[in-house]
Amino acid sequence: MKTNNEFPHQGWNLDNSYARLPESFFTQLTPSPVSSPELVIFNDSLASALGFQSKELQSKEGIEIFAGNKMPETAYPLAQAYAGHQFGHFTMLGDGRALLIGEQLTPAGERVDIQLKGSGRTPFSRGGDGRAALGPMLREYVISEAMHALGIPTTRSLAVVATGEVVYRETELPGAVLTRVAASHLRVGTFQYAARWGSKKDLQALADYAWDRHFSDLPAVQNRYLSLLQQVAARQAQLIAKWQLAGFIHGVMNTDNMTISGETIDYGPCAFMDTFDPKTVFSSIDVQGRYAYGNQPRIGEWNLARFAEALLPLLDDDEQAAVDQAQDVISNFASQFRQEWLNGMRAKLGITNEEKQDISLVEDLLGMMQQEKADYTNTFRALTLGEYPADTALFAGSAFKQWEERWQSRLGRQTCPEAESKQLMKRHNPAIIPRNHLVEEALAAAVDHGDYDVLHRLLAALADPYAYSPEQTAYAVLPPPPSQPYQTYCGT
Ligand SMILES: Nc1ncnc2c1ncn2[C@@H]1O[C@H](COP(=O)(O)OP(=O)(O)OP(=O)(O)O)[C@@H](O)[C@H]1O
């Protein structure tokens, strides 16, 4: 890997490969300026990984770029067209409040999208104002960076600027623009858009672009479109398994929020689960529980089926053969996911080899956790530390003692030394997660009082969630049960 010093260019080093797709995939336009931008949070380590000098980005000119008041010379700002199934209903969407300003070519030889979110109206805005509020953009910043630190593929956050303007939601809120970094912003919904409104040539151009962008390192394949479907399914199986293992609830798994890269995108209504319960839903609009924690793998499969449908014309000239190929991939997804998840659960329990009964060991633990309303993260944290608080219902019961004996004898049947097994657990069971009350507290200090210290401390603690450092202990303490269930809202 090249170091920064050898990198020929420090600063904006943009390409615009997306703009070489057929014109129907985007609209070129510049962001709408804002009155008095102020940089409120900036991601130093991400900036240098992308080949920027932090000072340059934090200068007056750098901030003007984050605000959309100015563009880097080589930018080619555009809003992407896409469609999507939202809560099962198909609709035209597109970047209604975001602009891709280009793809930064990084010192490590990667190509990443740089996108401004909240940068003004676009032809896809429908009735919206094209803007974003400060609180939700800071929330996306914190949770996406926490996800990255947890080892979960995700879009990243480079900066948030407050615009100095207000946005009107149910009430007046301070406005902001988030600079988001992503392997790409290609979504299942981008393919649905092409399949519904484009020609076969358009669809093929998009599929070729996606292949080149994300899978070109793979050995040559016979049918690249089938392979594209298989690869996306595999990445989604891995991603959703990681969500389940971390207790992450995305909250709005519409097909426009499923990426081709396998990164988590859209942090609108997401939240981490506290008490283990597969029915957990945080989003205020998800009244049916479509996107509940326990449904995420099934919804992933449903979304992939929509992706497969969009790809059908490319899979085979024979319609039935195309459907058969697609179905093979989709029907394989559940077991792919299950395998990823079970292996992850083994790691969470310090298990390094495979036994058939592992699944019942895991499911029995989860069953007890649900019954005793145990905290998901802290249960695995306690198992990792071997410290079982006596005032926790789960650990006080005899069922847990029996389970623990089974677990210990299972560990005894592997050759892995105990210390290694403990290390494995530490690498897979975070000491802390961005808990709802911690995030809310940090956002309130920042948005209501302009105090960013709480947010910075939280970000520092979340930067290495597997450290098990003494400072993290305070963040693992649960608050008293809330009087109302925690609810999240999207679209602000
Ligand atoms: N304030 C707004 N003005 C215009 N369009 C909006 C606004 N808020 C959301 N949209 C559009 O509504 C659709 C769904 O919104 P959603 O909240 O899922 O996306 P988002 O958070 O804006 O974007 P992303 O999925 O890129 O993170 C998208 O097409 C989005 O661009």
ipTM of the complex: 0.98
Model confidence at 315: pLDDT above 60: yes
- Which amino acid residue places its CA nearest to atom 11 of ligand 1? 96
User: What pLDDT is stored for residue 491 in this prediction?
Assistant: 56
- Residue 96 annotated as part of some ligand binding site: yes
Cα 313 to Cα 190, 202, 210, 229, 323, distances in angstroms:
15, 11, 16, 13, 10
- First vs last Cα of the chain: how many Å apart? 39
Model confidence at 321: pLDDT above 60: yes
Residues with catalytic function: 256
User: What pLDDT is stored for residue 485 in this prediction?
Assistant: 79
Q: What are 80's two structure tokens? A: 């992407």
Ligand 1 centroid vs 105 CA: distance in angstroms?
26
Rg of the chain over CA atoms, in angstroms?
A: 23
- Which amino acid residue places its CA nearest to atom 8 of ligand 1? 491
- Which amino acid residue places its CA nearest to atom 16 of ligand 1? 491
Model confidence at 8: pLDDT above 60: no
Helix pair angle (224-246, 296-315), 10° resolution: 170
- The residue ranking higher by pLDDT, 479 or 56, is 56
User: What pLDDT is stored for residue 6 in this prediction?
Assistant: 52
The number of the ligand 1 atom at minimal distance from the alpha carbon of 267 is: 27
Dmax over CA atoms of the chain, in Å, equals 67
Nearest to 32 by CA among 163, 121, 123: 121
The number of the ligand 1 atom at minimal distance from the alpha carbon of 93 is: 29
What residues contact residue 6 under an 8 Å CB cut-off, 6+ apart?
A: 107
Ligand 1 centroid vs 140 CA: distance in angstroms?
13
Query: What is the amino acid identity at position 251?
Result: G
Q: Is residue 128 lining ligand 1, measured as CB closer than 6 Å?
A: yes
Ligand 1 centroid vs 133 CA: distance in angstroms?
12
**In this predicted model, what pLDDT tens digit does every residue of 110-146 receive, in sequence order?**
999 999 999 999 999 999 999 999 999 999 999 999 9
Model confidence at 33: pLDDT above 90: yes
Model confidence at 471: pLDDT above 70: yes
The number of the ligand 1 atom at minimal distance from the alpha carbon of 131 is: 1
Q: Is residue 268 lining ligand 1, measured as CB closer than 6 Å?
A: yes
**Percentage of residues of the chain with pLDDT beyond 70:** 97
Residue 221's pLDDT band (cuts 50, 70, 90): confident
User: What pLDDT is stored for residue 176 in this prediction?
Assistant: 98
Across the range 294-316, mean pLDDT stands at 98
- CA–chain centroid gap for 91, Å, is 22
The number of the ligand 1 atom at minimal distance from the alpha carbon of 490 is: 17
Residue 5's pLDDT band (cuts 50, 70, 90): very low
**In this predicted model, what pLDDT tens digit does every residue of 249-265 receive, in sequence order?**
999 999 999 999 999 99
Q: Is residue 49 lining ligand 1, measured as CB closer than 6 Å?
A: no
- Residue 97 annotated as part of some ligand binding site: yes
Ligand 1 centroid vs 294 CA: distance in angstroms?
25
User: What pLDDT is stored for residue 488 in this prediction?
Assistant: 82
Across the range 434-438, mean pLDDT stands at 95
Q: Is residue 94 lining ligand 1, measured as CB closer than 6 Å?
A: yes
Task: Tell me, yes or no, if the pTM score tops 0.90.
Answer: yes
Q: Is residue 125 lining ligand 1, measured as CB closer than 6 Å?
A: yes
Model confidence at 483: pLDDT above 60: yes
Across the range 446-454, mean pLDDT stands at 98
Beta partners for residue 28, in sequence order: 78
**In this predicted model, what pLDDT tens digit does every residue of 36-49 receive, in sequence order?**
999 999 999 999 99
- Which amino acid residue places its CA nearest to atom 24 of ligand 1? 266
Ligand 1 centroid vs 367 CA: distance in angstroms?
37
